[in-house]
Amino acid sequence: MRTQQGKKGSNGSELKVLVRHRAIQRRISQMANEIARDFPGERVHLIGVLKGACIFLSDLIREIKLDVSIDFMAVSSYGKSKESSGQVRLNKDLDTSIAGLNVILVEDILDTGLTVSYLCRILRERRPKTLRIAALLDKPSRRIKNIQGDYVGFKISNEFVVGYGLDYGERYRNLKDVCVLKSHVEGI
């Protein structure tokens, strides 16, 4: 449920690299090793939250040296203001049951925590064997809900980031680096 307050458009905006592709790849490989260490000889079921997590998930699964399966969910927020409503709606549910599985919810970014908090609540009701959270980026300063990632790539400060799956108005998801989107326009 990321928002960029006051952002008026992409004209006059500037991208500054925050995390380079190579550093992302290195960290993902470490995260995959942590996961493999935590579930030796077991299967893990990764659930990607569309759309932002798709790039991270696709790189992460290829580094995990375990039996891995995947599924996806999609959510959006209720009402006009994502931040103020704090309510999340499920737009796409899982294709299969997660009962008895080692589930890892995969996010590109933990921001307010509203999305993951909502998803964890409904996933727990489905009786997975374990439920963990993997996030490439974590912005703890923005947190509203008391949730933490079990596997976190990079903690970042409160700047609006795009690239590597993260968008602004559906743009920039294809950037290989995670970049800060800054505007040249004063007061935005």
What sections of the chain are H helices per DSSP?
21-38, 54-61, 82-85, 114-124
169 in the Ramachandran plot: left (φ > 0), alpha (ψ -120 to 50) or beta? left
Residue 126 structure tokens: 């489905």
CB of 152 to ligand PRP, least distance (A): 13
With respect to ligand PRP, which residue has the nearer C-beta, 43 or 124? 124
CB 95 within 8 A of CB 125: no
Residue 120 structure tokens: 């964890």
With respect to ligand PRP, which residue has the nearer C-beta, 47 or 101? 47
CB of 29 to ligand PRP, least distance (A): 22
Q: Draw the binding track, 27-66, toward ligand PRP (x: CB under 6 A; -: no contact).
A: ----------------------xxxx--------------
Interacting residues toward ligand PRP by CB under 6 A: 1-2, 49-52, 107-115, 167
Could you give the residue numbers annotated as active site? 111
